[in-house]
Amino acid sequence: MKKSRLGEFQELILMSVIALQEDAYGNEIQRQLESLLKERLSTGAIQTALKRMEEKGFLTSQWGEATKVRGGRRKRMYQATPYAREVLQEMRSVREQLWLMMPNLKTL
Amino acid sequence: MIRKAKSPVPPKWAENMISFFIEEYFLEEVLGDMEERYFDDLKTFSRRKAGRLYVLNAFKLLRPALLKRLKYNQTLNTLMTKNDIKIAWRQLKKGRLYSSIKIGGFAVGIAACLLIAMFIKDELSYDQHYHHKDQVLRVINKYTENGEREEWTTFPAPLAKILKSEYPEIESAGRFLSSEGFGAGSNQFRRSEQDQIYYEEGFVFIDQELFDILEIEFISGNKLSALKKPMSMVISKEKADKHFPNEDPIGKTIVLNNDAERTYEITGVVQLKKASHFQFDFFLTLEGIEFWPGEQNFWIVNNYDTYIKVSPSADIGLLERKMQSIVDRYYKTAWRAIGDLDGEASASNSGFGLQPITDIHLYSGKIDDGLKHGDIRLIWLFSTIAGFILIIAAINFINLSTAKSNNRASEVGLRKAMGSSKLDLMKQFLTESVLHGAIAFGLVLVLIVLFLPYFNELSGKQLTIPMTAWWFIISVLFTCIVISLISGFYPAIYLSSFRPIETLKGEINRKRESIGLRSFLVVFQFTVSVSLIISTIVVYKQMNFILQKEVGFDKEQVVIIEGSNTLGNSLNTFKNELQDLAAVQSVSISEYIPVDGYTREGNGFDKVDNKGTVPTVYGQIWKVDEAYLGTLGMNIIKGRNFQSELVSDSSAIIINERMANQLGFDNPIGEHISNYEGIRTIIGVVQDFHFESLKGGVEPLCLVLGESPSNMLVKVQANSTRETLKEIELTWAKVSPNQSIRYSFLDERFKMMYDDVQRTGNIFSTFAILAIFVACMGLFALSAFMIEQRSKEIGIRLVLGASINNIFRLLTTNYLKLVIISILIASPIAWYVMNQWLADFEYRTSISWDIYIVSAFAVVFISLGTISYQAIKAGAVNPVENLRDQ
C-alpha cells in the first residue's frame, strides 16, 4: 500500500478495467464510467490514467482488434495485474474499517 | 436528384495536431479511441457538435504523460548543441580581447538598465499600498488670475467639515497642517520627566480621520481614537525607538519648546510606509485646537492640506464641479462679512481640483505642496537613457559580430559544404550569443553589487538588491539571454547566408559587408553620447550660474544658529555675549532667512489712501531686528533701516523693490500700507534679494520689527571661522547646558536648495561617461577588425612608400567622418532638450556655442584616441608581416 498510490480517478478506472474483463479498452472504460458518474470524461484524462498505471505496474496491455469506426485502427486492451487486485483489496479493507469506525452517517 | 451527403469525418486538422504532439507509441490507440468516440457522439449530437467535441477532446489530450518524449529520438540534436557550445567557447577564447569587449560592454549596458529599472520600479510604487487607493483624493486649490494658474494644497480649516457634511459621496475628510508658523515643522522635544532637550523635525497637526483615510499602520495605541483627545500625540516607530528605547511610549508625556504648561500625551506609535508622499514623525492632534478665536470656522486663510475618501461609485469629475459652489457659498460670504470687496472679487478666481492619491508622488510638479516628490519627467528621462544605453550595448554586439564575419566565412562555407543547413548555422551562431549572454549575466550581478551604492547616492534612493530572491536572478538571467538573442539574430542571419562556393574560393562579396548599416550604428552610438555630453555641460553651467548669481544678500561667512528660541529669557544675554566676541561682526535674531527651510509668512497688503484702484498685493512679511539687513549685507536703496530706539518704528515697514513696483509707488517713503493687522508706514526700500529658489523670480516682501526667536544669524570674520565657531559653542554651552548647539552655514543652505540640479548634473555626467565608454569600446574593437581586414592593403601601401602618417590618416578619416556626423545630429537634439529643462528656471544660463565646440572636441579627441592605438600599430608594423603569405 505504501509503495504506489492510486489516485481516486485511477482507482475508478482500474476497477472498471477489471469489471469489463475482456472488453477493457479506452472507450469502453470511458462509456462505463460516464454512465456511472453521469459526467463527460475526456479521452486525455482516461488515457493519462491508463498510461500512468501501466508505468506503475497496475496494468498490462496488448493490441486488440481493429474496427471500422476506429478508422481501421487497433484497440489496446487492458488487464489488471495481480498486484493491482491486491492493492484494490487493501484499499477496500481500509475503507471498510474506516466506515465501521465512523458513527452512523444519519446521526452526523 | 438526391445529393449524397459526404460521410462524416472528424476534423482533419485536429487529427494532425494529435499526430504532431502525441507520442507515436500511443498514437494508434489514441486516434482510434478518439474516432470511435466521435461516431458515438454522432448518434446523440449533430455533426457540427460532434466535431466541436472532438476538437475539445483533442486539446484535452495534450498532457505531459501523452506528449512526445524529446529525449528518445533527438540525440543527434543534442550532440550538435554540445558541439555548438564547444565551438562558441573556442571562438570566445580565440579572440579574448574582442570577446571581453563584446561581453563587457553588453554587461555594462544591462547593469545600467537594471539599476535604472529598479529605480523606476521604486518610484512607481509610491502610494500604491492603500486598500482603497482609487477612492482617496487630495483636494487641490486652483487659483486662476489673468490666465495664469497657481495650484497648491492648503485650504481653510472648515473645508473638510463642509465637504463631509454636504457631499454624500464623500465618506470621510481629513486634514493636516504643516505650517511652521503654528508649531508644526521643527520643535524642541523633551520628555516631561527629563531635562535633556532634543531638536526634532517632522511635526504635523493632524485629524484622526486622516489617519483612517491614509490607512496608517499602528504598532501600538488605538488606531481609531488615538488622536480623539485634545493634546494627544502619535509618534513614528523610529522616533519611539530613539526616545523610548526598551520602553512603552504610550502614556508618556512630552513638553515642546520648553512650554511646560502644555504637555502632550503619547497615545500611539505608527509605522509609515517608506514609499509614500506622507512622511512625518510627530503627529499632534487637531482636536480642541484653535490657533486664534474662531480659527476653525475662518474661511479666509489657507492652512490645511485636505484629503477625502469618496464612495466607490462616486463620479469624481462631477464632484469636482459640484464643489465649485463652495466659492460662492463660503469664500465670498466670508470676505463680505469682513467688508473686503477686493477679497470677494479675487475669491471668484478660486477653484477646486481632486488629485488621486496615487498621482501625488509623480504628478505634482506644478502643485505647490511643500513636499519632496519625484517627477514623472525624470522617470521618462531615465527610461529613455536606459533604453539608449541598452541599444548602444546591443549595437556593439551586432557590430562586432558582423565585423568578425570574414574570419568566420570559410568556416561557414565548409559547414555548408558538409551539409549544414542555414537553420543549423543560425542555431550555432545564436548559441554563441546565448553563451555571451550567460557570461554577461554573471558580470551583470557583480556590476550591480559594485555600483549600487554609487547609484543610490546618484538617485537619492535607498535601493537594495534582492539578491536572494529567485525572481530577481531569473529576471536578470532572462534579460541577458533575451537581449543577447535579439542582438545575435541579425549576425546569425547575416553569417549563415554566406554562399559556400564563394567563401571557400576566398571571394567574399564586398557589398555584403553592409558598410551602411555599420556606419549607421556607429553614428547612432555617438549621437547619444554627444547629446549626453552636451547636456552634462549645460547642467553644470546652470549650476555654476546659480551659485555665482548675485542674489541680493551676502551669503558668505554667516552662521545660522538653529533653535535659539529654547534659550527663552537668556536669548538676549546670548546675543550680547556673541557680539562681544572679537571675530563676530554682527548678530541678528530672526527666523526669516532667505533660503529654503525657514519660516515664511504671507499676507495681503493694500495701499491705504486709494483702496480699490491697485489690487491687493500678496507678499511675505518678515519679522526681523535692526541688525538684520546689515548682517546679511542687504542694501537699502531708498529711505533708512529700522532704529529700535525710535518708538514709531514698531509700526514702520521696509518693502522690497518688487513690492514698491506692484503697489505702484514712485516714492514709497512715508506712504502707508495695511494688512489685516493694521496700518504701517514705509520707511525704506530694500534692494530685491532672492529668498526662494532661483527657479522663480523675486516676490513682494516686506520687513517689520518683531520677535522671531527660532534662529540667529551671526556674521563672522573671514579668517578665523574655526576658532570663532568654538567660541560660539562655548558661549552657548554657558547659557544652555542642557541642550547642544546646532548651527549651519548660510552658503551651504543656499547650495542645498539646488541639490536637485546638482543631482541632475551628476546623473547626466554618469550616463554620458557610460555611453561614451561603451561606444568607444565598440569603436575600438570595430577599428581593430577593419584594420585587420585591410592589413594587406596597408602592407602594400607601406612597401610603396606610405608613411605612418598616411596610413594613420587613411584609417581614421572614415571614423572621424561618422563622429562628426553624430555631432551634427546631436547638437540640435541636445539644444532642444536642454532648453526644455532650462525653462524651469526663471534665471538661466544660455546654451552658447562654446558648449558645442567643447563637446565636439572632447568626442573627436576621445574617439581619435580610441582608433589611433590600432591605426598607429597598423602603420608601424613591418609590411613583410602582412604580405608574407602571398
pLDDT tens-digit readout, B305-342? 999 999 999 899 999 999 999 998 998 888 888 877 77
Bin B812: left if φ > 0, else alpha if -120 < ψ < 50, else beta. Answer: alpha
Q: What is the pLDDT of residue B610?
A: 59
Q: What is the pLDDT of residue B72?
A: 46
Q: What is the pLDDT of residue B268?
A: 93
Taking an 8 Å cut-off on Cβ atoms, the answer to whether B33 and A42 are in contact is no
For residue B355, pLDDT beyond 90: yes
pLDDT tens-digit readout, B7-50? 788 888 888 888 888 888 888 888 888 988 898 888 888 888 89
pLDDT tens-digit readout, B644-693? 788 888 889 999 999 998 888 888 898 888 887 888 999 999 999 998 88
Can you tell me the distance from the alpha carbon of B62 to that of B146, in angstroms, rounded to the nearest whole number? 70
Q: What is the mean pLDDT of residues B783-788?
A: 78
Substitution target in A41, A42, A67 with the highest count of B β-carbons within 10 Å is A42
Q: What is the pLDDT of residue B503?
A: 75
pLDDT tens-digit readout, B273-288? 888 999 999 999 999 8
Q: Are B206 and B286 in contact (CB under 8 A)?
A: yes
Q: What is the pLDDT of residue A1?
A: 45
- Cα distance from B20 to chain A (closest Cα, Å)? 15
Number of Cβ within 10 Å of residue B639's Cβ equals 17
Pick the closest to residue B202 from B146, B298, B267, B282 (CA basis): B282
Can you tell me the distance from the alpha carbon of B781 to that of B809, in angstroms, rounded to the nearest whole number? 18
Which three cell numbers, joined as nine digits, stand for B302?
489657507
Q: Are B710 and B590 in contact (CB under 8 A)?
A: no
Pick the closest to residue B685 from B648, B645, B651, B634 (CA basis): B634
For residue B613, pLDDT beyond 70: no
Taking an 8 Å cut-off on Cβ atoms, the answer to whether B32 and A31 are in contact is no
Q: Specify the 3-state DSSP secondary structure of B774.
A: helix
pLDDT tens-digit readout, B789-805? 787 888 888 888 888 88
Q: What is the pLDDT of residue B218?
A: 92
Nearest residue of chain A to residue B15 (CA atoms) = A71
For residue B886, pLDDT beyond 70: no
The rounded percent of chain B whose pLDDT value lies above 90 is 22
Can you tell me the distance from the alpha carbon of B495 to that of B506, in angstroms, rounded to the nearest whole number? 15
For residue B516, pLDDT beyond 80: no
Nearest residue of chain B to residue A77 (CA atoms) = B29
Q: Which one of A44, A52, A73 has the shortest CB-CB distance to B61? A: A44
Q: What is the pLDDT of residue B271?
A: 92
Q: Specify the 3-state DSSP secondary structure of B451.
A: helix
Taking an 8 Å cut-off on Cβ atoms, the answer to whether A47 and B37 are in contact is no
Taking an 8 Å cut-off on Cβ atoms, the answer to whether A52 and B65 are in contact is yes
Q: Specify the 3-state DSSP secondary structure of B329.
A: helix
Q: Are B843 and B694 in contact (CB under 8 A)?
A: yes
For residue B364, pLDDT beyond 90: no
Q: What is the pLDDT of residue B311?
A: 92
Q: What is the pLDDT of residue B254?
A: 92
For residue B507, pLDDT beyond 80: no
Taking an 8 Å cut-off on Cβ atoms, the answer to whether B26 and A44 are in contact is no
Read off the pLDDT band of B506 (50, 70, 90): low
Look up cell 508622488; give the residue: B361
Handedness of CA B326, B330, B336, B338 (dihedral sign): negative
Taking an 8 Å cut-off on Cβ atoms, the answer to whether A69 and B35 are in contact is yes
Q: What is the mean pLDDT of residues B803-827?
A: 88
Give me the residues of chain A with pLDDT under 50, please. 1-2, 108
Q: What is the pLDDT of residue B560?
A: 92
Q: What is the pLDDT of residue B515?
A: 66
Q: Which one of B32, B57, B60 has the shortest CB-CB distance to A70? A: B32
Nearest residue of chain B to residue A63 (CA atoms) = B29
Q: What are phi and psi of B55, to 5 degrees?
A: -65, -45
Q: Which one of A45, A47, A69 has the shortest CB-CB distance to B30? A: A47
Taking an 8 Å cut-off on Cβ atoms, the answer to whether B63 and A48 are in contact is yes
Q: What is the pLDDT of residue B611?
A: 54
Q: Are B343 and B249 in contact (CB under 8 A)?
A: no
pLDDT tens-digit readout, B440-455? 899 998 999 898 988 8
Q: How many helices (H) and strands (E) does chain B have?
A: 29, 25
For residue B2, pLDDT beyond 60: no
**What is the secondary structure of B174-210 as a DSSP string?**
EEEE--GGGT-EEEEEEETT----EEEEEEEEE-HHH
For residue B69, pLDDT beyond 80: no
Q: Identify residues of A whose CB sits under 8 angstroms from chain B CBs.
A: 25-27, 30-31, 42-45, 47-48, 51-52, 66-67, 69-71, 73-76
Taking an 8 Å cut-off on Cβ atoms, the answer to whether A43 and B30 are in contact is yes
Read off the pLDDT band of B514 (50, 70, 90): low
Q: What are phi and psi of B198, to 5 degrees?
A: -115, 145
Q: What is the mean pLDDT of residues B112-128?
A: 88
Substitution target in B18, B36, B53, B55 with the highest count of A β-carbons within 10 Å is B36
Taking an 8 Å cut-off on Cβ atoms, the answer to whether A69 and B33 are in contact is no
Q: What is the pLDDT of residue B719?
A: 79
Q: Are B271 and B237 in contact (CB under 8 A)?
A: yes
pLDDT tens-digit readout, B703-746? 999 888 888 999 998 877 888 888 899 898 888 887 788 888 99
Q: What is the pLDDT of residue B511?
A: 47
Substitution target in B9, B15, B18, B28 with the highest count of A β-carbons within 10 Å is B28
- Cα distance from A101 to chain B (closest Cα, Å)? 38
Q: Which residue has the higher pLDDT, B833 or B466?
A: B833
* Cα dihedral B430/B431/B435/B436 (nearest 10): -20
Using an 8 Å CB-CB cutoff, list chain B residues near A30. Answer: 33, 37
Q: What is the pLDDT of residue B172?
A: 93
- Cα distance from B52 to chain A (closest Cα, Å)? 13
Can you tell me the distance from the alpha carbon of B426 to that of B435, in angstroms, rounded to the nearest whole number? 14
Q: Which amino acid type is present at position B126? A: Y
Nearest residue of chain B to residue A54 (CA atoms) = B65
**What is the secondary structure of B711-760 as a DSSP string?**
EEEEEE-GGGHHHHHHHHHHHHHHH-TTS--EEEEHHHHHHHTTHHHHHH
3-state SS of B402-447? HHCHHHHHHHHHHHHHCCCCHHHHHHHHHHHHHHHHHHHHHHHHHH
Q: What is the pLDDT of residue A70?
A: 86
